[in-house]
Each structure stands twice: as C-alpha cells, then as structure tokens.
Amino acid sequence: SNGRARVVSTWDFGVGANQAAWKVLSAGGSALDAVETGARWAESELCNPTVGRCGNPDRDGVLSLDASIMAGDGRCGSVAALTDILHPVSVARKVMEQTPHVMLVGEGAQQFAVQQGFPREKLLTPAAEKAWREWLKTAQYTPEINAERRTRPGDSSNHDTLGMLAIDAHGQLAGACTTSGMAWKLHGRVGDSPIIGAGLYVDNEVGAATASGVGEEMIRNAASFLVVELMRQGRSPAEACREAIARVVRKRPEASKTLQVCFLALDRNGEVGAYALHRGFVYAVCDKDRQDDLRDSASVY
C-alpha cells in the first residue's frame, strides 16, 4: 500500500510538482523516481524566473542551472552552472548512477550531459532576456525577499527554487533540488541547491531537508545537513528548521533582516515542518488524503 507515502515541496508551484511526483509514489514507485519526476515537471512545465527553462540569467545574460538529487542511503549527484540542458536534475541523477563522482560543473557537466544523450538547446526565453536588459539599466544585485506573497496554486507569476522531499511506501527517503539560482548573479556563481548538505540532505535513518532563498547563507551554515542533524538529536522537523533559521540569524544578524532563507523538512515517519526568515514562504504537501495542500510557513520576521 502507499499509505505512508508523502511528498513535500517548496513554494506554490510545489503543488504541481508534487502531483507529478505523486503519480510515481501512488503507483508504488520509489521516492527517488518520484522526486526526479517532480523536479523535471518544474524544470519544463512552468514559466517562472527561478527554475529551468524560464529562469532568469546571470549578470552576463547566461542562464545557468544548478540541481541535485539524493537518496536516503547516501547516494547523491549534482550539477552546477550547467548551460543549454533542460533537465539538470536528470543529469544530476546520471552523475550519481553513471560516474564515480558526486558533482560536475560548467562545461564538463554539459559535455557529460550530451554524452548521456541530453539534447543541447538554447533555454533563455525572450521574457527572461527582456528582464535582464531591464536589469542592466541599473545593474544592482539586490535579491528580493519574496517578489510577492504567493498562496494561490496555479499562480505562476513568480517563483523560486524547487526543493522536493519524498518518502515512499517502503519508507525510503529521497530529495531533489533544482534552480537557475539567484537572478543577475556573477557568471560562475554556484548556490546551495547543487551542494549536498547545503541545499539538500537526505538520510533514511533520520529524515530529509531542503532549502530556498539566498544560497550563500545555506552554504555558510551547511544548512540542510544541520536540519537533518537537529532532527537526529530529537527535534521535530519544524523545530529543526526553526533552530537552523536561528543559527542563520545569529551568524549574520544584520544581513538576515534583508535576506530570505527558507527550510523544509520531512522526517522518516512522514512528519513535515518548515521555517523561514521572512514571511511569505509557502510549501506544498501531498499524500493519499490530499494532493493540493499548500501551507504557510512560520517565520522570524
């Protein structure tokens, strides 16, 4: 039975990503297949400025994608600064399964993807290129906390990184994270999403965590690993996320007032929790009882 299966995702478009993943989970599929399927949905189906096809470019006008995938037994793979390939999460899975490595970046990641049969295609949309040209007029890098408050599923006007965590009918955990990173970043900048332990961490013994927001703060705090380790020490998913946010604040109290950081966690019993620095973070929860549940995260500010 799929009674214990559950999938959770960051942001309102997580509802659609969860539903794609749920098709896999409800048919008895693995958490790993589910999160890859859900992340692929976000990479291709949605027009939003922080994931996949419709992502905003870096300050030089180059769209570069970061993604990671991790199974609860410790297998993991990731790609960073990948260009002209639509499905970075699937390339990350190939890194995990077809190479002795965990992470490939830039040109080498693209070369590997092409060798694995992924088509090379120009991804930058006219809308993203227009937004970049607009940005060039001031060329100020000032990440917004949340572009707007988003609580309606289907409102795809503005979104952020997809972080997805799942538990399958066999109690196996997995997670995936996919993003175009911070808009207008320096060329070559890598965020937290492809860094195992920062943007994503999964351990079948404990649970899983993922993050969204300004990735430098997650890297600084090994944040997703921190959330999982706090759960290992007995915190609930929500308590673990709250304590990790408190750590972010303690480390950089002034910066924390203007940066968004969001954590989402799922433990091995299927319990879900979240916490953010600033209000406006929403996350989607999907299981056999409900496939369109969108919840507001608590926050410091």
Q: By C-beta, is 160 or 168 nearer to ligand SD4?
A: 160
Q: By C-beta, is 214 or 272 nearer to ligand SD4?
A: 214
Q: Smallest distance from the beta carbon of 24 to ligand SD4, in angstroms?
A: 24
Q: Smallest distance from the beta carbon of 182 to ligand SD4, in angstroms?
A: 5
- Token pair of 232 as six digits: 């290992």
Q: By C-beta, is 24 or 182 nearer to ligand SD4?
A: 182
Catalytic residue among 37, 161, 178, 210: 161
Q: Smallest distance from the beta carbon of 254 to ligand SD4, in angstroms?
A: 19
Q: Smallest distance from the beta carbon of 183 to ligand SD4, in angstroms?
A: 9
Residues in contact with ligand SD4 by the rule CB under 6 A: 50, 160-161, 179, 181-182, 191-193, 212-215
Give dist(CA 213, CA 248) in Å, integer: 12
- Secondary structure element (H or E) that encloses residue 193, with its range: none
Question: What is the full DSSP assignment across 158-176?
Answer: S---EEEEEE-TTS-EEEE
161 is catalytic: yes
Give dist(CA 224, CA 265) in Å, integer: 9
Whether the Cβ atoms of residue 245 and residue 276 lie closer than 8 Å to each other: yes
Q: By C-beta, is 59 or 288 nearer to ligand SD4?
A: 59
Three-state DSSP at 263 gives strand
Name the residue among 212, 187, 188 with its Cα closest to residue 42: 212
Catalytic center residues: 161
